[in-house]
């Protein structure tokens, strides 16, 4: 098949921990009620735009899987093939997993908080394997061995996500399939950084809203032919602003 190729990125709907304003990372929390509504609406938006996915790629985290299921049910595409990979997981938030974002900002100050949250190459402290928020003993990651992260910065996410983009997503795009990738705020920031050529400094400003499909048309080189388009731009702008403000939430 020849270009343009169609790629749809979808961050999971609001999770219970997004709702409670907690750092989540690899902790496997589910969608909130609002999140299930957002996920189903994402499917309606896809259907209304006549963007019917032929193949789905998700992370191994339940909130992304639930989101894809709900969206594909609305779009009547539950039957499409699925591949899941830890490489699409949220950024591992290390020792911040399970902590309240506003309390963390109050305790460490805004500068340190933003460094951990949005700098490109400063990872949070390592999470100990004995923590209740650790994934060291989670069977879904049993084959990862030394690849299992205990903290990650966005640079680490780019480095573990891009090989999957090349090996698994790119061939589906080149085969002419409409590809849906259902993932997370920071794994999608990593992918958008690659696609839009955003600098290490400027990526700090990018926030991805929950539950709104972001559509790219890609050329032969699998780079965008134009800017990505949210299917509901107004809701996307409001959602991104809400994500940006999470440290200030009471």
Does 86 show up as a binding residue in the annotation? no
**Is 33 within any annotated ligand binding site?**
no
Smallest gap from Cβ 235 to ligand 2PG, in A, equals: 17
Find how far residue 163's CA is from the centre of its chain: 16
Q: For residues 82 and 164, what is the distance between their CA atoms, to the nearest angstrom?
A: 14
How many angstroms from the chain centroid is the CA of residue 18?
Answer: 13
**Does 12 participate in catalysis according to the annotation?**
yes
Residue nearer to ligand 2PG on the CB measure, 43 or 185: 185
Adjacency order of strands within the sheet including 82-84: 82-84, 55-58, 179-183, 5-11, 214-218, 229-230
Gap between the Cα atoms of 132 and 22, Å rounded: 15
Beta-carbon contacts of residue 154 (< 8 Å; ≥ 6 apart): 91, 118, 119, 120, 121, 186, 189, 190, 193, 203
CB 102 within 8 Å of CB 21: yes
Note if 90 is an active site residue: yes
- Which CB, 122 or 246, lies closer to ligand 2PG? 246
Nearer to ligand 2PG, 188 or 222 (CB): 188
Binding site for ligand 2PG (CB under 6 A): 18, 23-25, 90, 93, 117, 185-186, 243, 246
Closest CB to ligand 2PG among residues 13, 53: 13
Query: CB nearest ligand 2PG: which residue?
Result: 24
Task: Please give the annotated binding residues for substrate, written as ranges.
Answer: 11-18, 24-25, 63, 90-93, 101, 117-118, 185-186
Q: Any idea which residues carry the catalytic annotation?
A: 12, 90
Task: Please give the annotated binding residues, written as ranges.
Answer: 11-18, 24-25, 63, 90-93, 101, 117-118, 185-186
């Amino acid at each position: 098949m020849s270009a343009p190729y169609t790629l749809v990125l979808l961050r999971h709907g609001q999770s219970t921990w997004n709702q409670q304003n907690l750092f989540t990372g690899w902790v496997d929390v589910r969608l909130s009620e609002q999140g299930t509504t957002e996920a189903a609406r994402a499917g309606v938006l896809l259907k209304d735009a006549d963007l019917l996915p032929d193949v789905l790629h998700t992370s191994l985290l339940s909130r992304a899987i639930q989101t894809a299921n709900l969206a594909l049910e609305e779009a009547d595409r539950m039957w499409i093939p699925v591949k899941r990979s830890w490489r699409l997981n949220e950024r591992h938030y290390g020792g911040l997993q399970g902590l309240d974002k506003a309390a963390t900002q109050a305790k460490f100050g805004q500068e340190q908080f933003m460094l951990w949250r949005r700098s490109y190459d400063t990872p949070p402290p390592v999470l100990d394997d004995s923590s209740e928020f650790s994934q060291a003993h989670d069977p879904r990651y049993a084959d990862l061995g030394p690849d299992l992260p205990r903290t990650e910065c966005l640079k680490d996410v780019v480095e573990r996500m891009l090989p999957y983009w090349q090996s698994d997503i790119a061939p589906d795009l080149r085969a002419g399939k409409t590809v849906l990738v259902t993932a997370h705020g920071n794994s999608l920031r990593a992918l958008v950084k690659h696609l839009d050529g955003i600098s290490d400094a400027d990526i700090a400003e990018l926030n991805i809203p929950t539950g709104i499909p972001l559509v790219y048309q890609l050329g032969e080189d699998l780079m965008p032919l134009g800017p990505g388009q949210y299917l509901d731009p107004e809701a996307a702008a409001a959602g991104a602003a809400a994500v940006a403000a999470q440290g200030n939430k009471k």
